[in-house]
Structure 1
């Protein structure tokens, strides 16, 4: 079925130029982990009682999740550095008065679709122009099998997109579902739906994805187990009608955000930085492994565990990088970091090849297409494949760049914008991107932080 489009979030474009700098030095902290921040708010809203969260990412995406949960009955407040959430309990979500605008946040809409699917409410989700193009069918399919009903706008190529209305079913039907694609968002949506229904919900994961949902659900008291079967599939089993207990959560720095200053330090001669308090969960740390294999001088100091998540300070020094063949099976552990890896590859010695990246074509933008077009503008030789890029590096020589070249199109994609901002530091004469505004969705203060390192 289709629905009429509603007003969408309007973002004012903010062009920005980035030029070569001196060595990057100093110690910095990046904003809190986006994935953990979303889940901290959602699970706290489902607990009975008061949860407290420190280190929450205060980017637009996470704030959209907070606003959505308030609209459905949770009380969420900030005092100083502490966010307090008074939860309504599993099954306690209320009917929102109006449609919920989630801006640019794909994580918000997909996780909240799962949350609503097993509640007796009807919720309409809208978003900005970028989010409204992203397909939602992969989430609709399993949640429909659990009994939820969906009305969505259909794109010109027949894909279900926003605006989208979810009509939940309570009690919904437990599901055993084998993920057809590696997607932590789909897995998490199913598990969130499974909290508020009798019986057992089971997700079969052939390829491991980030496991924050499983870790945090157990931390909040859900009856959840993870096992491996004889075929090396992860079997995640959740007992429904859960009762979640409030928690005190400390969110570590986001490795996806840390990726940008880390790569910048590797590329800019003389750089020596430390990025403090970064989450290094193995399901998220693939980029750092690949950069080390390329010759990057990256070490992990003061390793510790915070709230069940491994954390470390990352020490990075300028390094000569070498092109490699990136194995396809590492993609789920660094799927959001490929844009900045492509920048590192553009400055490496030799060719870097990637494959298995179909998922990048359905992110905030078609990231393979956008990165290929932008890299060509600044003088990088490459070949674009359906599932990856092959990039011929400059051997460390600055890329031509030049503010007289066309501005790099970011397509409302925060990671495209930040990747080319880093690239600008490694050009001979800088570059311009058409819009820095989307960076606020995940990394508030990004440009100022990079300037701090270069000062």
Structure 2
């Protein structure tokens, strides 16, 4: 495992950054363009390892995809002209690829086998497999197909009304994709709103769907049309620098061209509730996705309670919110976030272990965290445990620690933010 040592900041952070393309939109753009008829161009594509797994999956199915840095040209031939792969498809560490592609592979008239790395092979797949089987999917695998590897023996799917038992945009998207291949209508009713990029982006590729309240309905048999997509900056990546500027004294930072979808901007609302000085300026739209700049100044933070409807909107940002809370006055409580235990790592345990190791006072709950703020971080070692968001949390912690922080397993950050360390160097005074 690669190791990096990061010294504390000698002054505030300053300047302007443009974070990489949104991970969720990058995945979905590749999937929709690969299923479409015609040539699509995807610009500002996130070239992290997870998104490239989705690219490789469709190359395995015979789709011609050209890449020039962060630009993709995808030559789609439609769903009827995908090829049966001769070898298993490797999803790597990408949970998004695994769950969304399950909805695709379940409906294709092909036999496919898919697997992942050690971490992904421990993450639950039954949340997508069970409802897909209810649509008629023929899926087999370990422990009643609850874990990868999985095999998909393409069958005719039947439309179905799904009432989700978990709040998951990945499950919702997987079932909507399966609905494109199914006979009749498929509807998905959510427990509460999750990120809505699938519903926002599918119409751009010519798909008709309806959204009424918490229910999305899609008709099977629709053909996707090629479409160009410019991917906005990823707010989940921006979150690390939002917090960095908020907690590092003397900082003033601008993040340009960030996606500000209302189902993803919880980090801004949470940080403002804690007292952070943040302004947003929406200046354009990519399709229906709002894009704008985020301006952050260092400020004094206070503890907060984060729970309920807010959690799905910040589920990926909780590690860096926990770091911010260590610098806040008072106690921060995070509830209803048990989903964190099923990420790349058990993120509740990973956050507690690593922040306490460098001097914080954090307690684990079954469904969240209690962070006692106002203390000083000593520095030390953060073990990423192969989780990109834990690695980046540790790197930002170094800025406000008494001594340097050593990040073990820094290579995992390439999953979502390959340019993270160069961007961090750029804004340090």
Whether the TM-score (by the shorter chain) exceeds 0.5 is yes
Query: Which residue in 2 is equivalent to 1:168?
Result: 154
TM-aligned CA deviation for residue 399 of structure 1: 1.2
Aligned counterparts of 1:98 and 1:378: Cα–Cα separation in 2: 45
Distance (whole Å) between structure 1 residues aligned to residue 37 and residue 409 of structure 2: 42
* Correspondence list, 1:316-331, <5 A: 316-331=296-311
Is 1:212 the counterpart of 2:197? The answer is: yes
Q: Distance in 2 between matches of 1:81 and 1:282?
A: 25
Structure 2 portions without partners, runs of 5+: none
CA distance in 2, matches of 1:120, 1:41: 20
Report Cα offsets for 1:249-299 as digits up to 9, x if no partner: 110000000001111111111111100000010101111100001010110
2:8–2:401: 8 Å Cα contact kept in structure 1?
yes
User: How far, CA to CA, are the matches of 1:343 and 1:307 in structure 2?
Assistant: 34
Would you say the 8 A contact 1:90–1:242 is kept in 2? Answer: no
Does residue 17 of the first structure (1) align with residue 5 of the second (2)? yes
Aligned residue number for residue 382 of structure 1: 362
The answer as to 2:408 corresponding to 1:408 is: no
Question: Cα distance, 1:81 vs. partner?
Answer: 4.8
Q: Go from structure 1 to structure 2 and tell me whether the alpha carbon gap of 1:262 and 1:356 turns closer, same or farther (over 3 Å shift).
A: same
Between Structure 1 and Structure 2, the one with more helix by share is: 2
Secondary structure at the counterpart of residue 148 of structure 1? coil
Residue 185 of structure 2 is aligned to residue 200 of structure 1? yes
Post-superposition shift, 1:448? Answer: 1.2
Partner of 2:421: 447
- SS of 1:336 mapped into structure 2: coil
Determine whether 1:103 maps to 2:89.
no
Q: Shift of the alpha carbon at 1:345?
A: 0.4
Equivalent position of 2:353 in the other structure: 373
- Give the structure 2 partner of residue 139 of structure 1: 128
CA distance in 2, matches of 1:95, 1:77: 20
The 1:82–1:431 alpha-carbon spacing in structure 2 relative to 1, beyond 3 Å, is closer
Structure-2-length-normalised TM-score? 0.97
> How many Å apart are 1:327 and its aligned residue?
2.7
Output one character per residue of 1:397-417: Cα deviation in whole Å (capped at 9) or x when no partner: 641224xxxx32222111011
CA distance in 2, matches of 1:381, 1:447: 27
User: Separation in 2 of the partners of 1:40 and 1:161?
Assistant: 26
8 Å contact 2:247–2:327 — kept in the other structure?
yes
Deviation at 1:121, TM superposition (A): 1.1
Distance 2:370 2:396 in 1: 20
Alpha-carbon shift at residue 197 of structure 1 (Å): 2.3
For residues 434 and 43 of structure 1, the distance between their equivalents in structure 2, rounded to whole angstroms, comes to: 36
- How far apart in 2 are the matches of 1:218 and 1:380? 46
Q: Distance in 1 between matches of 2:80 and 2:305?
A: 48
> Which residue is equivalent to 2:28?
39
How far did residue 159 of structure 1 move?
7.7
1:64-118 Cα offsets, whole Å, 9 max, x none, are 1001101102111024653111112134322111011111100001100100111
Q: How many residues align?
A: 428
Q: How does 1:35-434 map to 2 (within 5 A)?
A: 35-79=24-68, 81-154=70-143, 160-169=146-155, 171-228=156-213, 234-394=214-374, 398-402=376-380, 407-434=381-408
1:319 and 1:93 mapped to 2: Cα distance? 53
Name the structure 2 match of 1:10: none
In 2, Cα distance between equivalents of 1:213 and 1:161: 24
Q: Write out per-residue CA displacement over residues 392-442 of structure 1, whole angstroms, 9 at most, x where no aligned residue.
A: 012xx641224xxxx322221110110111111111112212110111010
Asked whether the equivalents of residues 272 and 318 of structure 1 are also in contact (C-alpha less than 8 Å), the reply is yes
Deviates more, 1:407-416 or 1:259-268: 407-416
Would the aligned equivalents of 2:47 and 2:69 in 1 still touch at CA under 8 Å? Answer: no
| C-alpha distance in 1 between matches for 2:353 and 2:70 | 40
Root-mean-square deviation (Å): 1.3
* TM-score computed with the length of structure 1 as normaliser: 0.92
Residue equivalent to 1:9:
none
Which secondary structure state, in structure 2, belongs to the residue aligned with residue 236 of structure 1?
strand
Q: Secondary structure at the match of 2:79?
A: coil
Q: Pick closer, same or farther for the CA change 1:211–1:413 going to 2, 3 Å.
A: same
- 1:327 & 1:362 partners in 2: Cα distance? 18
Q: Classify 1:303/1:401 alpha carbon distance in 2 versus 1 (closer, same or farther; 3 Å).
A: same
1:438 matches 2:409: no
